Amino acid sequence: MPELPEVETMKRDLSSMMVGRCFTGVTLHWPRAVQTPSPEEFCNRLQGLCIKEIDRRGKYLIFRLANGEALVLHFRMSGSLLLDSRNASDPYTRNTFHVDNGAGLYFRDPRKLGLIWLVPDENTVVGKLGPEPLDPAFTAADLGEWSKRYSAPIKAVLCDQRFLAGIGNMYADEALFAASLHPLRATNSLSADEVDRLYRAIRRVLEEAIGNYGASINDYSRPNGEPGTAQSMFKAAHRVGKPCPVCGTIIERIPIRQRGAYFCPNCQRNS
């Protein structure tokens, strides 16, 4: 499930090979992924456009094009963007972007939940996202200010893209474990010390995961097909029934807002 570290890895891996290249066409096997414009217009307009730079905002991957427009992708649950031409015949390759060096960018997405936009202004897609957690301008004081506004469980708030951009289920669990905070803690009940712990935990967890090229939990892999290794560092996420690496207590999983929250009931007390 591509979250911030996985999309950041895609951005870095793809930038060296794709910046300066131009799209020669698109094959849409799953046109419903295209949000705007219409699939026909999407294919016509993208053809001939060249990539000026590749960026990331939250969990969105942004191709900034030389004509000022932006091709924006969101991978949701199962999407990935692959370079190897062998993916042309993969039944889960939903859409293919053909590039002027003869190569292709293969949008592989078994669950068909990923989304694609071609827009004159990328902010129509990503404009409502909260701050980037790794932006130097985002401080612990900012996190404290934001947190006062929410009474919902901290786990749910961390996953809310209007609060912070790019954190999903896995990294919210990891950050809360690293900060020794129970996922059900009311967000506005955090002390200044707890906010500071959480702030440092978020940044440490995300930076470490980027250093490990993201987590290959389900269908994600790097553009070259190699898996990321960040999942091997997980202490709580997706580890239900396994021992906490700190204290040995069995990791539990509870539903919060229809999603699984993994945590150590000993290290992350709800009080």
Give me the amino acid identity at 66.
A
Q: Is 79 a binder of DNA (CB under 7 A)?
A: no
Distance CA 114, CA 33 (A): 6
Distance, C-alpha 202 to centroid of its chain:
14
Which residues have C-beta within 8 Å of that of residue 23, sequence separation ≥ 6?
46, 47, 48, 49, 50, 51, 97, 98, 99, 100
- By rule CB under 7 A, what string of x and - marks binding of each residue 150-189 to DNA? xxx------x-x------xxx-------------------
**255 flagged as catalytic:** no
What would the two tokens of residue 19 be? 């910046």
Of 102, 136, 248, 255, the one binding DNA by CB under 7 A: 255
Q: Is 242 a binder of DNA (CB under 7 A)?
A: no
- The CA distances from residue 167 to 11, 182, 190, in Å, are 16, 17, 19
Nearer to DNA, 65 or 125 (CB): 125
Of 22, 50, 77, 103, the one binding DNA by CB under 7 A: 77
Q: Crossing angle for the helix pair 192-211 and 4-18, nearest 10 degrees?
A: 40
- What residues numbered 219-238 form the site for DNA, per CB under 7 A? 238
Of 21, 52, 76, 98, the one binding DNA by CB under 7 A: 76
DSSP tally for the chain: helices H, then strands E: 7, 11
What would the two tokens of residue 193 be? 């010390």
- By rule CB under 7 A, what string of x and - marks binding of each residue 102-141 to DNA? --------xxxx----------------------------
DSSP SS3 for 166: coil
Q: Are 223 and 6 contacting, i.e. CB atoms less than 8 angstroms apart?
A: no
**From 14-22, 74-82, 203-211, 228-236, span contacting DNA (CB under 7 A):** 74-82
Shortest Å distance, C-beta 112 to DNA: 4
**259 flagged as catalytic:** yes
Of 58, 104, 183, 228, the one binding DNA by CB under 7 A: 58
What would the two tokens of residue 253 be? 């999983």
Q: Are 208 and 134 contacting, i.e. CB atoms less than 8 angstroms apart?
A: no
Q: Is 214 a binder of DNA (CB under 7 A)?
A: no
Q: Is 3 a binder of DNA (CB under 7 A)?
A: yes
Query: Which residues carry out catalysis?
Result: 2-3, 59, 259
Residue numbers of the site for DNA (CB under 7 A)?
Answer: 1, 3, 32, 58-59, 74, 76-78, 110-113, 149-152, 159, 161, 168-170, 238, 253, 255, 257-260
